Amino acid sequence: MSEPSSSWCNPMAVSTLGSGNLRDALKLPPGEDKNEWLAVNIIDLVNQVRMVFGVLCESECTDSKCPSMTAHGRQYTWTSEGTLLNTSAPQYIDLSLTACQNNVDDENVFPSEIGKQFPTDFEERCQAIMRRLFRIYAHVYFAHVNHFKAIKALAHLNTSFKQFVLFANQFQLLNKEETEPLREIIENLISFS
């Protein structure tokens, strides 16, 4: 499944859609509430990652092909009440997306009524969601980047991840260690923006 780094980090391969002004579109507008801006953008990213995985979940990322949730130099697992769960990659990702969606749908976490306040730990919750989404990107780039080339959607994947990275960087939602598995491709995406 894994590829040599030189292949998927090749600048020629890090193509994106015509999104020259994407960085500005993600900046916090003047006078806008920060939590409000975090909320509307994270919901957007959750939808994107769900579609990205939707392309793989039928035949590409299966229990037999991806028996463990792996990325470059990482293996991600879930624990429940102190017990380690041996989940396959599709199981791990399904649980991740379900957890993210539950947060987004929770009126007490992402309030949509006028006048309702965000929880005090809203930023921490956003960071947790971003970590989960990043790990899904990490596995996709580690194991399935060839498939996205085959379906001519690599530029779309790169654009989605670029939006993710630009947004995370603006609001410091991911630490450096967490993003180590995709450090090279991140540098390529940012430098080309």
Partner 1 sequence: MRPAAPGTTPNGASSDIRHQRGVAPIPFGSTNSAIDAHHNSEIRVGRHRAKLDEIRESLKAYEHEAGLLSSHVALGSLATPSSSSVSHSDITNDNAEVMNFSSSSSNAAATTTTVSSAAVSNSNSFRTEGGGHKMRITPMPQRHLMMDTGANETVFRSGKEMIRNGNPSTTISSTPSTTTEESIRIHPAGYRYDMPTPAYHMNNNAPQYSPGYSRPPPPAYDSSPVNTRMTPVATDNYRTHLHMKVHPVVKAPPPNPTMLNHNKNMAPPPPPPAKSTISIETMSEERKADNIQRLYHTSMDKKTASSVVSINVASPHTTKVNVGDSPLPSKSFIIGPRYTADVDRKNFVNYKDELRPDPRLIPSTSDANHEDFRPILFKPRNLEITMKSRAQPPPPQYNQPSEPPPKRVSSPIDRTLLEPYIKNTRRVQPCKPNMLRFYMEQHVERLLQQYKEREKRMKQLEKEMVSAQLPDIMRNKMLGLLQQKESKYTRLRRQKMSKSHFTVISHIGVGAFGKVSLVRKNDTRKVYAMKSLEKADVIMKQQAAHVKAERDILAEADSPWIVRLFFSFQDDACLYFIMEYVPGGDMMTLLIQKGIFEEDLARFYIAELACAIEYVHNVGFIHRDLKPDNILIDQHGHIKLTDFGLCTGLRWTHDRRYYGPENDHHRVDSFSLPPEVAAIDKSVKVLNVRQQTRRITAHSLVGTGNYMAPEVIAKTGHNQSCDWWSTGVILYEMVFGRVPFHDDTPGGTQHRIKNWRNFLDFTYCGNLSKECLMMIQQLICDASSRLGSHGKDVAERTAQVKNHPWFRGIDWVNLRKLRADYIYIPRVTHDEDTSNFETFQDNDRADKPNVRGLHNPAFYEFTYRHFFDTDSVGCPSLRPSRRRSLRPLLENGTFNESVSEEDSSSHI
Q: How far is the CB of 185 from partner 1 (least distance, A)?
A: 17
Q: How far is the CB of 94 from partner 1 (least distance, A)?
A: 5
- Determine if 127 is a binding residue for partner 1 (CB under 8 A): no
Distances (CA, A) of 174 to 45, 124, 130: 14, 11, 7
Selection from 15, 112, 1 nearest residue 61 by Cα: 1
- Determine if 51 is a binding residue for partner 1 (CB under 8 A): yes
Kindly tell me which residue out of 6, 12, 84, 86 binds partner 1, with binding defined by CB under 8 A: 84
- Determine if 62 is a binding residue for partner 1 (CB under 8 A): no
Instruction: Note the Cα 95 to chain centre separation in Å.
Output: 14
Tokens representing residue 28 in the block: 């916090």
Q: How far is the CB of 175 from partner 1 (least distance, A)?
A: 12
Say which residue the tokens 């429940």 belong to. Answer: 80
Quote the CA–CA distance of 168 and 26 in Å, as a whole number.
10
Selection from 132, 127, 64, 59 nearest residue 94 by Cα: 132
Kindly tell me which residue out of 13, 91, 184, 193 binds partner 1, with binding defined by CB under 8 A: 91
Under a CB-based contact definition with an 8 Å cutoff, are residues 169 and 61 in contact? no
Residue closer to partner 1 (CB basis): 36 or 187: 36
Tokens representing residue 150 in the block: 């085959």
Residue closer to partner 1 (CB basis): 4 or 81: 81
What is the total count of residues that contact partner 1 (CB under 8 A)?
67
- Determine if 145 is a binding residue for partner 1 (CB under 8 A): no
Under a CB-based contact definition with an 8 Å cutoff, are residues 173 and 142 in contact? no
Q: How far is the CB of 57 from partner 1 (least distance, A)?
A: 5
Query: Residue 11 carries which side chain, given as an amino acid letter?
Result: P
User: Which residues here bind partner 1, judged by CB under 8 A?
Assistant: 17-19, 21-22, 24-26, 29-33, 36-37, 39-40, 43-44, 47-48, 50-55, 57-58, 70-71, 73-81, 84-85, 87, 90-91, 93-95, 97-99, 102, 110-114, 131-132, 135, 151-153, 156, 159-160, 163
